[in-house]
Structure 1
Amino acid sequence: MLILKTLALEPMHGYGVSVRIEQVSSGIFRINPGSLLPALSRMERAGHVRSEWRATENNRRAKYYMLTAKGRKALASETEQWDRQAAAIRRILEA
């Protein structure tokens, strides 16, 4: 869900995704490249993201990932599911 949300903002390469998530979460979430790249590959196979090779800001080639329409639907579904789970956890903690 965090990767999909990050890619909903703009296309970016894997390193950019991990940096953005770490920045927005104030360092709480740090994504290991060994976990991120297989996750991006799974999302690409599922049709949630697509990729293309582009030049980075430093003029190096990198694979950029973009959210697809199917990915936007998956993000909406996962966000709804997360909201339900977080509410249930909140109820348990407040009981």
Structure 2
Amino acid sequence: MASMRRPSLLILSALALGPLHGYAVIKEVSRLSADQVRLAAGTLYAALDRLSDEGLVEVDREETVDGRLRRYYRLTGPGATALAAEAEQMRRDAQMVTQRLRGAGPAGAPSPA
């Protein structure tokens, strides 16, 4: 399985605690990324459509608020599995990098064997 793009990872992470509507997903992604990732509405909904097509998220419910339709999305079982697998792969990668850096000498040069 290919690595997940960061926006997808953050969207799935935002939904991990429960269903959210689009604007709430945008705000949570911004919070989770320490404001490094700011999704535009069009980008979010394109990603949600793709994640839905992949079976990772689904519509939880719809409600009308101030005359506008608000759609809530939730993480599916396969979405939670994919998110957990990605987190585990990231953990292993970070561990490998940390181990390699510990073995590096000055200026990142490998230490003599």
**TM-score interval (norm. to shorter):** 0.7 to 0.9
TM-score norm. by structure 2 comes to: 0.69
Contact 2:10 2:32 in 1 (8 A): no
Q: Which amino acid aligns with 1:22?
A: S
Residue aligning to 2:75: 67
Between stretches 58-67 and 84-93, larger displacement belongs to 84-93
Partner of 1:49: 57
Unaligned residue ranges in structure 2 (runs of 5+): 1-8, 105-113
Task: Choose 1 or 2 for highest CA Rg.
Answer: 2
Aligned-pair identity in percent equals 38
Distance 1:85 1:33, change over 3 A: farther
Higher relative contact order (CA 8 A, sep 6+): 1
Task: Assess, with a 3 A threshold, how the Cα gap between structure 1 residues 92 and 44 changes in structure 2: closer, same or farther.
Answer: same
| 1:24 matched to 2:32 | yes
Give 1:62 shift: 1.3
Structure 1: gaps spanning 5 or more residues: none
Pairwise CA distance, 1:59:
6.4
Change (3 A) 1:20 1:59: farther
State the 1:33 CA deviation. Answer: 2.2
Cα deviation, 1:21-64, whole Å, max 9, x if unaligned, reads 212333122122232211111111111111132245x5632111
